[in-house]
Amino acid sequence: MSKLTIRDLKLKDKKLLIRVDFNVPFKDGQISDDNRIIQALPTIMYALKKRAKVILLSHLGRVKTEEDLAKNSLAPVAKRLEELLGKPVVFIPETRGPKLEAAINNLKAGEILMIENTRFEDLDGNKESKNNPELGKYWASLGDLFVNDAFGTAHRAHASNVGIASNIGGAAAGFLLEKEIKFIGEAVDNPKRPFVAILGGAKVSDKIGVIENLLKTADHILIGGGMAYTFVKAQGNDVGLSLVEDDKLDLAKDLLEKAKGKIILGTDVYTAKEFSNDSEKNLRDYTNIPADEMGLDVGPKTLELFKKYLKDAKTVVWNGPLGVFEFPNFANGTVEIAKFLSTLTDATTVVGGGDSAAAVIENGLEKGFTHISTGGGASLEYLEGKKLPGIECVNDK
């Protein structure tokens, strides 16, 4: 990789600022998925082993009101990190000030401290999210070196990534960011072939740039999920009550023409009369969905068709579920593709965040994949071929 990494830094006794992505989901006050914390551990443990004084920065949720402050503290995340590391994590419930500065100055080599949610600074003028120059300069002043390991926010120029990097003389990539650059970047720029992309999710509009970019490099693009029905309708078929972006029908038609057979749609679909897990499930042809039914999952023939294209692939990038993944009765297509991809031992398999990553993790299939991205929006923009500020701010070697 052409970017500077944490391996290139002399860390002993240095105050090392690490931007991590601990924006984890909560349910009933408990962390419901700690994957992002686990993915950051290699970088953190490496820095501790090299006797750095580690200072972590992360955001959590959005902070617009006083109530957001109460529910978006990183205190429970610091506690979970402490459990995973098996060593104390000093948590400072502040984002700036004498108490924070004193705690950092008291850190010994091999110790770790976490600053409160960087987006607490958004309560007064979006200082974090708008990359306030004074804030980036302040945070940079707290450390000697900076490592960015937060791919989840790499598509945003914030004070805690670009702001720090521009005030501390640059940044190095952590191991997670390095993996994201390697696997997503190489998949798009220099894939082993055949290269097959799987795109799902609700809307075509979310993935226009991705489809256009992948048409340049992918051998085939398999399309499922809600976005498929816009393409099916663009071909002149009736899709009933299925999710369709009518204002994107001409665009879908253009993409199909441009693709020259690269875009593969399904042949059958599970439908229901209501958008509900308990609605009666029917198997229909894509081209013959009744007027009072909607497509909610791919059918068995579609799965077999997709598997035919995937079985010999050498590179697979998957982003977005193939059905309504939050409904167990309509999650089968997504889960089956996750299981099938986990058996492709001779291929580089990369899953981009969100529900597709959840399908892999919830079914214990992580070890069957080359890489599970921690970034939803970031991985989409990277697949579009965009330059991401959080990667651009990392120094070249």
Which one of the listed residues 61, 377, 385, 386 is annotated catalytic?
Answer: 377
Which one of the listed residues 200, 354, 375, 376 is annotated catalytic?
Answer: 354
Q: How far apart are CA 58 and CA 114, in angstroms?
A: 8
Task: Tell me which long-range contacts 22-26 makes (C-beta under 8 A, separation of at least 24).
Answer: 22/56, 22/58, 22/60, 22/74, 22/77, 22/81, 23/58, 23/59, 23/60, 23/61, 23/152, 23/153, 24/60, 24/77, 26/71, 26/76
Which one of the listed residues 51, 96, 182, 203 is annotated catalytic?
Answer: 203
Residues in the chain, overall count: 397
Structure-token pair, residue 238: 């009736």
On whether the CB atoms of residues 362 and 138 are closer than 8 A, the answer is no
What would you measure as the largest C-alpha separation in the chain, in angstroms?
A: 69
Kindly give, in sequence order, each residue whose CB lies less than 8 Å from that of residue 391, ignoring residues fewer than 6 positions away: 3, 154, 173, 177, 181
Residue 119: active-site member: no
Strands (E) across 301-354 are located at 315-319, 348-352
Which one of the listed residues 36, 119, 207, 248 is annotated catalytic?
Answer: 36
Residue 36: active-site member: yes
Residue 377: active-site member: yes
First to last CA, the chain: 9
Q: Which residues are catalytic?
A: 36, 203, 354, 377
